[in-house]
Homo-oligomer: A and B are copies of this chain.
Amino acid sequence: MATITYREAVVRALDEELARDENVIFFGEDVGKAGGVFKVTPGLYEKYGADRVRDTPISEVAIVGAGIGAAVTGLRPVIELMFADFAAVTLDQIVNQAAKLRYMSGGQIKVPLTIRAAQGGGAGFASQHSQCCEAWFMQAPGLKVAVPSNPADVLGLLKSAIRDDNPVIFLEHKNQYAEKGEVPDGEHLVPFGVAKIVREGSDVTIVATQRMVAVANKAAQELATQGISCEVIDPRTLVPLDMDTILASVKKTGRLITVEEAVHAGGWGGEVATQVTDAAIWYLEAPVIRVTMGSSNVPFSQPLEEAVIPDSKRVVEAVHRALKP
């Protein structure tokens, strides 16, 4: 067991897969010579050379398209879009092309492409550099979506993403890059579609992703001191989504709270909640509560930004409300 940062987990996964399979290539804006804007990919350019690790012009449409075409013809490209917000300039290539080519071609085409991007707020980057964008991708059947919350999952999920024959959107939380965590020694792969029960509990089920996992845990700890037992679940991948684990937990606790660092409409919490209220409503002993950013944009000013992003206080309130007789 070594302790590494979320950032180091990214580069380790890329390094291991670039070394393992010569068909793996990696490109994006300033990911090569400079080692990435988030300093996430240092050394890869020097180690694997200018052919396999490339800097690109500022051309997200061309970057994703090149990734698709290379994947269709036999490579396993990993591309970086830097800030996930920038996916909006190339959404067509992602949701209309990468996601649908296999379907439209009747299964002739395979797109083993991994698209990395950093999302999330909390650092004062304002409205155009702070969004959580998973919803854009969950709506495109054909795309898998990973949202790792810790270094071990970054490592294991990114390696699985690169080996997956489907296009994968790999969303890193930019405010977690410095977070440390233990990772197993040797090869570490985390399968898609397997949620992690981060904390066991019996009174309330809390589903959270990325930075919100820690927020949920903090709330759970505080609630434990009040004799309230929370089960915290991290889906780890949103497509595929491990509803079995979530449903089993809700059937046990009878209460569901989702915690999202995203706007309410279209968020993954809606998918989790509606699958639960369709399949397990008779088990529910409380309203299903979604803790989200509501209908807010991410402001620059610190107190305002802290007000829109869910914190443990809001999770605690939600749990109390769910437990109100």
A residues with a Cβ closer than 8 A to B are 85-86, 88-89, 91-92, 95-96, 99-100, 103-104, 126-128, 135-136, 138-142, 239, 262-271, 273-274, 277-279, 281, 284, 286-290, 295-297, 299
Contacts and interface: CB of A to CB of B under 8 A. Distances in A.
Contacts of A277: 273, 277, 284, 287-288
Contacts of A99: 297
A83 to B, nearest CB: 11
21 contacts: A85-B96, A88-B95, A88-B96, A89-B91, A96-B127, A99-B297, A103-B297, A135-B135, A135-B139, A139-B263, A141-B297, A142-B297, A266-B271, A273-B273, A273-B277, A274-B290, A278-B289, A278-B290, A279-B287, A281-B286, A281-B288
A237 to B, nearest CB: 13
Contact of A263 (B85, B127, B141, B263): B141
A278 B270 CA distance: 11
Nearest to A277: B288
B103 A139 contact: no
Contacts of A267: 139, 266
Given A103-B299, A274-B274, 4 more contacts: A135-B266, A265-B271, A273-B274, A277-B288
Contacts of A138: 265-266
Contact of A274 (B136, B281, B288): B288
Contacts of A141: 263, 295-297
A95 to B, nearest CB: 6
Given A100-B128, A135-B139, A271 B281 contact: no
A78 to B, nearest CB: 22
A103 B265 CA distance: 18
A241 to B, nearest CB: 8
A270 B273 CA distance: 8
A180 B62 CA distance: 44
Nearest to A286: B281
